[in-house]
Amino acid sequence: MASLLHALRAIEWAKLPPWLSVIAVISTAYFATRAGRKQRRIALFDRRLEVFDAALELIGTVIRTGKVKSDDFQKFLWKKRECDLLFNSGISTYLNELSRKAREVYALEGAVDEIPKRDRREALLWFSEQGDVTRKKFSKYIAFREA
């Protein structure tokens, strides 16, 4: 691409027939548009991947420790704030549910009564199933495919 642009700059445009200069301008615009589109897709992919990683980190921490660590939860909330712009409403709803369950685990951390302990166990069990669920829900958005 760079060599093509260098060659186009070296041409003496006044000596070319008009139709050839039109073709050169159109092809340059076409390739620039394609490059810009690819850059936007890569940037969107990166932002989506950050949300996915934050969700998996939160899930992993809860599964590993049985607790919600405030650092992981804050990171998750920070990355989740743009989910409405990056994903459809299904992912947004799922991330809100993940957030609600994390708050539930956090709130019931020191539970001594039987009912809150049971609720906490249920929430932890729910988290144990979310790794695969999260991968499946996000797979549409983070799959590597050629466009």
Instruction: Write the pLDDT tens digit of every residue in 48-62.
Output: 999 999 999 999 999
Phi and psi based region of residue 114 (left: phi greater than 0; alpha: psi -120 to 50; beta: remaining): alpha
Q: Where are the domains of the chain?
A: 46-142
Q: What is the mean pLDDT of the chain?
A: 84
Please write the tens of the pLDDT for every residue from 99-125.
Answer: 999 999 998 888 778 888 899 899 999
What contacts 24+ positions apart, CB below 8 Å, involve 66-72? 66/105, 66/124, 67/105, 67/106, 67/109, 68/102, 68/103, 68/105, 68/106, 68/109
